[in-house]
Amino acid sequence: STSSTLVTAFHFALIVAGLASADQDETQARVLRVPSAPSSHIPRSPALFFAGLKSGAASGLASGAATVCAKAMLAPFDTIKTIQQASHTSGSMQHIASTLVRAHGVLALYRGLGITLVGAVPSISAYFAVYSSLKSALLLRVPAPPLVLVAVSAALANTVGATLRVPCELIKQRIQAGMYPGVASALRSLAASGPSAFLPRGAHLAQLARDLPFGVAMLLSYEGLKRKLRRFLGAEPPPWAGAACGMVAGAVATLITNPMDVLKTRTMTSSSAGGVLSLATTMWATEGPSAFARGVAPRLLHKIPASGLFWLLYEAFRNLLHVGDTVLK
């Protein structure tokens, strides 16, 4: 079940967080030429375990703070994207925005922002806490290509983050599409249908189908670009360069996953309980392949600056919180 999967993933993340901390301490000791015991004899003490949890939690806090800033600034593009994707007819960004503002005022462009932050902050925080812990542990302990370990860490972490994100994402997109006037009415409607209405199977699968490849593509691109810059410069890239890497990574991940994003929007804004595959087949037959590119322009306008801003603020908050990282050489 979904709940048991989440519990297992969190338990695994907690364990590797402690292992990552112990290995980081040993690595730092070697760099400082302080004698240390062989790794097989390092005691996995509660202090080391909780130090790992502290580092993962700080990474989660940094990502949560960065998320609030990025999503609040760029919410209108997300609203326009949802309306474009939910519609069976194409409409320009300017037409949708002007129609929405004339009918409901400027604040209509920020529909669902409150519930977005309620859902996004804990899910992104959990995602990056798990990702940071897994990446550190795997890079220090598993003899495999670094970018492969980044991909594995991103996929496992996003399984947790995407599942946590579904209920609030479902409410947000239905508010953006005009299905509910606000959060209260959405909660009443879903509650009347029972607890399963907050995590419908089709919406959950659609969220995973978008978020897993998005997270892997984003983090592979970001870590790979920073790795090349680090080698070229012979030092850690400056913050603006990291932000540029984030913008490129955001563009790559957005383009790769737009068809899955369209399917997620259609699934979440539909009252029927059809499967993702049958929906894709129907869309291809009735609307053509261009339907899967719907909303790509506002999504790029949202994701590119949001990704650059996110990574800039994420690294800044990590530095502020004195959180170290295992870098890719």
In the chain, which stretches have pLDDT less than 70? Answer: 1-60, 273, 321-329
Terminal-to-terminal C-alpha distance of the chain: 39
For position 65, what pLDDT does the model report? 76
* Cα–Cα distances in angstroms (integers) from residue 279 to residues 168, 180, 203, 269, in the given order: 22, 23, 12, 12
Question: Rounded to an integer, what is the distance from CA 1 to the centroid of its chain?
Answer: 22
Of 189, 198, 307, the residue nearest 257 (C-alpha): 307
For position 63, what pLDDT does the model report? 74
Structural tokens at position 5: 């999967």
Do the beta carbons of residue 16 and residue 133 sit within 8 Å? yes
Distance CA 175, CA 181 (A): 6
Of 92, 89, 116, the residue nearest 176 (C-alpha): 116
Distance CA 166, CA 268 (A): 9
Helix axes of 2-31 and 46-86: crossing angle, nearest 10 degrees: 130
Structural tokens at position 181: 């006037």
Residues 6+ apart with CB under 8 A from 303: 250, 251, 253, 254
The backbone torsions φ and ψ at residue 270, rounded to the nearest 5 degrees and listed phi first, read -105, 145
Do the beta carbons of residue 113 and residue 155 sit within 8 Å? no
For position 3, what pLDDT does the model report? 43
For position 50, what pLDDT does the model report? 54
Instruction: Count the helices and strands in the chain (H runs, E runs).
Output: 10, 0
Q: What is the pLDDT of residues 128-179, one digit of tens each?
A: 888 888 888 888 888 988 889 989 999 999 999 999 999 999 999 999 999 9
